[in-house]
């Protein structure tokens, strides 16, 4: 006999963001709203890379930041109980800083951004001029600072040629105004591989050399190359820096071997990363997205030591759990955390332990 179990997948704020069937049990305290959507049962299999003839040919190239293995951290443009920070407060271990978040405007696909006034006040009057100067200083130090689009509450939608144009135009304007190096796609309300792909290729062509593009899909979005988010990643592979999937707020998922693995384990990190690595992304385009503390996510926290073990397992086949991939990927992209603020609140273990480990990897 079989049983059907339902899991709600959540965004960073702990609210329901997605519904998947036949996956795993909810953790204690997770909200249980009435289902509003279903997704097909993940297969864990990978297929050929999809093609999209509607996307214009890009002209930009995407050189990686100086580090071979990258540590990405989200910087919170709001105060939610984590340590409030200026951009200058973000430790040097972070190679990419994703400013969270761009806001939707009244124009379909359009983006807006401004410093949160409450955060500014908490920081003693952090001005836009100081914010821009801090971004410039990070860039001068060899870091990348990008604007994240989405989050659990994000409502930006790119679903037509017109909205793709609006996205590219507004993103480019914000990049010029603030000095951002690129964008992060962290939409949890659905993406179009066709239209978002068009928007990102247009933006990359305008930005030219140095454009940085990251993505932070949920686990359900990267179970198969047939999923729209995975299709988007493959569609923009030529301009993509790294995909840091959120290995948290998920419940259990299928690994590339077809086995079910629970979040919060080394097997979960390695088994799910394997799907992306075998599904068409380059090793340097695959990163491990983890919460900085138990306060940063509703579930899926692992210690920095477990993150390092997963990186070693994927890169060299060492420190694995019961799942050991049949391939080694020494060029594995790196790791990401939500957030630099929660990392600071919990003692900086991601920056110090994971960051130093990443930068010491060959």
Residues belonging to the active site: 188
Distance, in Å, from the CA atom of 138 to the CA atom of 221, rounded to the nearest integer, reads 32
* Residue environment code for 178-193, b if the CB has 16+ CB neighbours within 10 A, otherwise e: bbbbbbbbbbbeebbb
Q: Which of 334, 340, 339, 341 is nearest to 356 (CA)?
A: 334
CA dihedral 47, 220, 38, 162 (to 10 degrees): -80
CB 315 within 8 Å of CB 329: yes
Distance, in Å, from the CA atom of 304 to the CA atom of 158, rounded to the nearest integer, reads 35
Beta partners for 68?
none
Q: Compute CA distances 260 → 50, 119, 134, whole Å.
A: 26, 41, 44
Give strand ranges (E) for the chain. 6-10, 16-21, 70-76, 96-104, 111-112, 144-151, 182-187, 212-215, 242-246, 253-254, 260-261, 286-291, 334-338
DSSP letter for 287, please: E
Distance, in Å, from the CA atom of 214 to the CA atom of 146, rounded to the nearest integer, reads 9
């Amino acid at each position: 006999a079989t049983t059907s179990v339902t899991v709600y997948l959540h965004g960073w704020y702990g609210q329901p963001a997605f519904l998947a069937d036949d996956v795993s049990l909810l953790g204690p305290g997770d909200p249980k709203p009435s289902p509003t959507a279903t997704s097909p049962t993940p297969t864990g299999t990978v297929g050929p890379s999809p093609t999209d003839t509607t996307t214009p040919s890009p002209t930009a190239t995407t050189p990686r930041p100086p580090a071979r293995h990258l540590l990405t951290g989200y910087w919170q443009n709001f105060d939610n109980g984590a340590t409030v920070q200026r951009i200058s407060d973000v430790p040097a271990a972070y190679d990419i800083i994703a400013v969270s978040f761009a806001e939707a405007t009244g124009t379909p696909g359009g983006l807006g951004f401004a410093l949160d006034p409450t955060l500014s006040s908490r920081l003693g009057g952090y001005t836009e001029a100081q914010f821009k100067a801090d971004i410039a200083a990070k860039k001068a130090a060899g870091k990348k600072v990008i604007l994240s689009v989405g989050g659990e509450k994000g409502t930006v939608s790119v679903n037509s040629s017109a909205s793709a144009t609006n996205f590219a135009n507004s993103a480019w304007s914000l990049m010029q105004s603030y000095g951002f190096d690129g964008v992060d796609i962290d939409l949890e309300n659905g993406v179009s591989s066709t239209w978002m792909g068009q928007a990102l290729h247009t933006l990359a062509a305008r930005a030219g050399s140095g454009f940085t593009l990251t993505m932070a899909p949920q686990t359900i979005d990267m179970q198969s190359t047939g999923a729209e988010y995975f299709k988007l990643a493959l569609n923009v592979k030529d301009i993509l820096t790294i995909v840091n999937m959120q290995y948290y707020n998920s419940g259990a998922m299928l690994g590339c071997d077809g086995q079910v693995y629970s979040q919060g384990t080394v097997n979960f990190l390695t088994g799910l990363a394997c799907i992306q690595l075998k599904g068409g992304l380059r090793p340097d385009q695959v990163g491990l997205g983890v919460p900085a503390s138990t306060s940063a996510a509703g579930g899926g926290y692992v210690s920095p030591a477990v993150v390092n073990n997963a990186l070693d397992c994927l890169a060299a086949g060492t420190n694995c759990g019961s799942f050991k991939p049949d391939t080694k990927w020494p060029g594995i992209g790196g790791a990401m955390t939500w957030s630099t603020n929660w990392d600071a609140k919990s003692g900086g273990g991601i920056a110090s332990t994971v960051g130093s480990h990443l930068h010491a990897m060959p």
